[in-house]
Amino acid sequence: MNLSSRESGIVFRIMAELSRGHGSRELRERVGPLLLRLLDAQFFASYVWSDRSATFEERVAVNMTDENLRTYESHYQFCDPITPILQRRRRATAVAEIISRPGLESTEFFNDFLARDGLHFGMNYYAWAGGLNIGDVRIWRARNREDFSRREVEILDAIGPAFTNAMRTALAREGHEHGVLSLLDALDRVPARPRLTRREKEIAMAALLGKSDREIADECGIAYTTVRTHLRHVFEKLGVSGRNQLFRRLALH
């Protein structure tokens, strides 16, 4: 993808912020305004999904009113016709890809929430680590602008993996309730025969946070084949066949 010198400069700043070890909130607070500049947009919001409450939490926003966002959190997220579809996607997606303009404008969600702050054209990116949605990026333009182009969606999609990795690292370091702590609790609650060893829990956690076998091996200082052996033991003890089934099993506990 060819970027202009202006775009390249902003992308460089975004990547620098993603690599600086910010906490999960500060990370989004710093990257949000840069994404707006890069994509010529006016509105930014970002949440972390809580599987425990099945709600979006820990809001960060730019140019959106606190009062309106509180109505989203208390009501409109539960009658939102677009976000559940966008959330299931593993790539940046323009809102226009999943609902027609007339269809969106006919909804309560648009007229009583989006339009009140002037949001008209949107695209979202949802960060997934294994089976966890660990954060998102929601970018919108005003009525007097044009919708996002395919190129602009691809730019956000190219930045997405770096955002995901930065959020994954931040949440793991924080011992975040949506990340490490909730998974550790679930690992302790789920029946296992025999019980998981400390090393097996460590490797299961890394796998659930989206790390590859080779990344786990490098971080733990063990052989790639040893990681595979530990994971096989985890799956056998918990009665699952792989990472996806492991996450679903934990979600029930």
Instruction: For the chain, give the number of residues.
Output: 253
Residues 132 and 189 in one domain: no
The whole-number pLDDT of residue 174 equals 73
Asked if the peptide bond before residue 191 counts as cis, ω within 30 degrees of 0, the response is no
Residues 116 and 218 in one domain: no
137-155: pLDDT as tens digits: 999 999 999 999 999 999 9
The whole-number pLDDT of residue 72 equals 96
The whole-number pLDDT of residue 134 equals 87
The whole-number pLDDT of residue 211 equals 80
Domain containing residue 16: CATH number: 3.30.450.80
Residue 155 region by backbone torsions, left for phi larger than 0, else alpha for psi between -120 and 50, else beta = alpha
The whole-number pLDDT of residue 100 equals 96
pTM: 0.74
> Among residues 159, 174, 189, which one ends one of the domains?
174
Q: Which one-letter amino acid corresponds to residue 114?
A: L
Residues 88 and 144 in one domain: yes
> Among residues 115, 145, 174, which one ends one of the domains?
174
Query: How many domains, in total, are found in the chain?
Result: 2
Considering all CA atoms of the chain, what is the largest pairwise distance in Å, rounded to the nearest integer?
62
The whole-number pLDDT of residue 177 equals 46
Q: By the 8 A CB rule, do 186 and 253 touch? A: yes
Residues 118 and 240 in one domain: no
Domain containing residue 230: CATH number: 1.10.10.10
Structural domain range at position 110: 5-174
> Among residues 156, 174, 192, which one ends one of the domains?
174
Residues 59 and 153 in one domain: yes
Low-confidence ranges of the chain (pLDDT < 70): 130-131, 175-186, 251-253
The whole-number pLDDT of residue 173 equals 73
C-alpha triplet 45, 48, 53: angle, nearest 5°: 125
